[in-house]
Chain A
Amino acid sequence: MDMSQQTLTPEKAVTQQVPTSAKVVARDVNVYYGEKHALKDVSINIPDKSVTAFIGPSGCGKSTFLRCINRMNDTIPSCRVKGTITIDAQDIYDPALDVVQLRARVGMVFQKPNPFPKSIYENVAYGPRIHGMSRSKADLDQIVESSLRKASLWEEVKNRLQESGTALSGGQQQRLCIARAIAVSPDIILMDEPCSALDPIATAKIEELIDELSQNFCIIIVTHSMQQAARVSKRTAFFHLGLLLEEGETNEMFTNPTNEKTQAYITGRFG
């Protein structure tokens, strides 16, 4: 990616009075896929240790924006990102920044559960291993156990850690993916429609888990379900046609949206 395309210099970003409580700060982010202008001038502050939901109709750019935060868009050759995104006031598109370290700080959970075709243990141990986070086998065991506990999966799998991760049920696989992300101790966890492939019971479990995790992590979740956004998130951002139309406290937004498009969307009149 060509870093010279950034429209804002870091000095300029600093002058924009970043609130100290914000974990992630985006200013005038634009994303292009080839000729397509997928995200237009998105600016948002995302607070730490809480859940922020991105909602909006399909193709509105919410997932695109989410993938900017851990630079997963780098893997798409035709994709260009302009603007500034900072995490703890550090510009993540700074050429000096190592994307590998960024992704260790910003975990991600995908729409379809994608455990590696390895054992449950290896799935969780993979991240700590490649980042050299454990000094001994006991260390690693400890990380695996605590990650699986945090993902509320430990009780279900503690006796079969050597079985393949792909043999678990869909909901368990998704919690395994969350455990895998937690294992590298990130600050932020991005979730791209984590429940869309799950049944209501598994969804409820994940939502409960998200609620617990929000005490320690900054969680950003993309969802198609209004109810889910209302249930799990503290703040909500509404995207439409690549624009961030409205953003604020979830309660506020669902009871009293200021934008008429937001109102139309959350009451189900389009989307």
Chain B
Amino acid sequence: MTALYFVTLAILVAAAFLIGRHRAQSLIAGGAPSLHSLPSYHGMLPMAAVLVAMLLTFVIGSNIVARYAQSSSLAMLGAETVADPLKRSAGFRDIQNIAIGKHSGDVPMLLKEAAEQFASASTFGNWMVYGLGTLLGLFAMGYFISRISPVYRARNIFETFILVVMGICATVAILTTIGIVFSVLFETYRFFFDPSLKGRPTVSQFLFGTEWNPQAALRADQGDIKTAFGFVPLLTGTLLITAIAMIVAGPLGLFSAIYLAEYATPRFRAWVKPILEVLAGIPTVVLGFFAALTVAPLIRGWGEAYGLSVASESALAAGLVMGMMIIPFISSLSDDVINSVPQSLRDGAYALGATKSETIKNVILPAALPGIVSAFMLAISRAIGETMIVVMAAGLAANLTANPLEAVTTITVQIKTILVGDQEFDSAKTLAAFALGFVLFVVTLILNIIALQVVRRYREQYD
């Protein structure tokens, strides 16, 4: 049914374009005064009209049909079933399975009748949608084709249509973001303020607590709620690992970008840049076990040789590998930015007798600063959001420490730990994940705002 609908849609769309364009072309051939719009616009306008009419009919129509089929079939099972949500969904599952012939065993008469009602209602409804869609499509096509004339402003109308489509796309993207923020915000609110939730912390216990032990909140009589949801060790763990990663990736990435953009021969650059970018394509799971199985034991071995006590899962191992992961972000983006600094600025500096390094230091890097800062910000965001490497290499122990040789844990890792497996969504422990997510979001936002200010303060704008 759906397939037939879309085949018809495709045929009508093609027909609308061809007929519309042909009509406009024959106007020219018939010696009409010059057309306002090109023939292809006269084709594209009916095409767009058919597309919109038929897609809207399908989306709205099939929704109505599905609801109608569901309610009419459920009604046959009696008022009691309809009223109880659990029974209702179970009954409807049965009806659907019988209707597509997947139900095994004996089928009660009542259910069978309901399934027949469901099937016939669906079929009838779908044919209605098909008929209506085709009719509307033909009508839309006919309307716009009949209006084709030399003075008809098909181009302007079509361009307005494209403008609206793009506006809708942008709106969808923004609304999605807002939706995510609000759903996280709502659950976070529940975590802190829902009176029916047992074992919830206060905001200050969460933000300033120095112990993280969410298992304690499983039952009210277990552990101490006051110390269950202390967020501080997670934040310090996250910042510690991110800092190590940036210490590794910042200089390596930036210097390799400068080398690639300013010193390397074009041939060398053409070879090396794709190889560096491959590094960004390695799945973080692979990097994670590289960190856990290769780097962490290595660090432990070195540490012991110098008489240091190193945890087998350390922040250092996770940070180092995470640094490797984000090198390509910094190097590749910075390289692009440095390359886009106009050659005329380099020429100007060289002509004053500046050496290559003076030119790079005083002219090129300041001009490229905004782009370089955004490359760093992207890298930091990646590092803060990274989960897999930390799970494998840095562990789950929420230690409040600045020692990179100890095991730490991060916000994302705890979110993952809390939500893995079967969870009920009305316990404080589960809702803590939303609170963590929200705080993570705020932290990243603050970092972004700081970076934006830095850029605005120091940018040297060229044009």
Contacts and interface: CB of A to CB of B under 8 A. Distances in A.
A114 B352 contact: no
Given A130-B358, A166-B463, A118 B350 contact: no
Contact of B352 (A118, A126, A164, A166): A126
Interface stretch (B180-188, B298-306, B361-369, B397-405): B361-369
Nearest to A177: B348
A222 interface: no
A215 B418 CA distance: 81
B461 interface: yes
Interface in A165-206: 166, 177, 180-181, 184
A52 to B, nearest CB: 18
Residue of A100, A115, A116 with most partner-chain B CB within 10 A: A116
A103 B462 CA distance: 24
B344 A181 contact: no
A114 B352 CA distance: 12
A50 interface: no
Nearest to A107: B351
Contacts of A126: 349, 352, 354, 362
A177 B462 CA distance: 15
B412 to A, nearest CB: 38
A81 B462 CA distance: 32
Residue of B342, B348, B362 with most partner-chain A CB within 10 A: B348
B460 A117 contact: yes
Is the interface on chain A under 10, 10 to 19, 20 to 34, or 35 or more residues? 20 to 34
A110 B348 contact: yes
B366 A118 contact: yes
A180 B344 CA distance: 14
Contacts of B426: none
A63 to B, nearest CB: 12
A114 B353 contact: no
B146 interface: no
A124 to B, nearest CB: 10
Is the interface on chain B under 10, 10 to 19, 20 to 34, or 35 or more residues? 20 to 34
Contacts of A108: 347, 351
B355 interface: yes
A127 interface: yes
Nearest to B266: A77
A70 to B, nearest CB: 6
Given A107-B352, A127-B353, A130-B354, A114 B347 contact: yes
A181 B345 contact: no
A114 B344 contact: yes
A75 interface: yes
Contact of B353 (A75, A116, A130, A164): A130
A100 to B, nearest CB: 5
Given A117-B461, A164-B461, A103 B348 contact: no
Which 6 pairs, one residue from A and one from B, show the smallest C-beta to C-beta distance? Answer: A117-B460, A103-B353, A108-B351, A104-B353, A114-B344, A127-B352
Given A103-B350, A117-B462, 13 more contacts: A72-B351, A75-B346, A77-B265, A100-B353, A103-B351, A104-B353, A114-B347, A116-B345, A117-B460, A118-B460, A130-B352, A130-B354, A130-B362
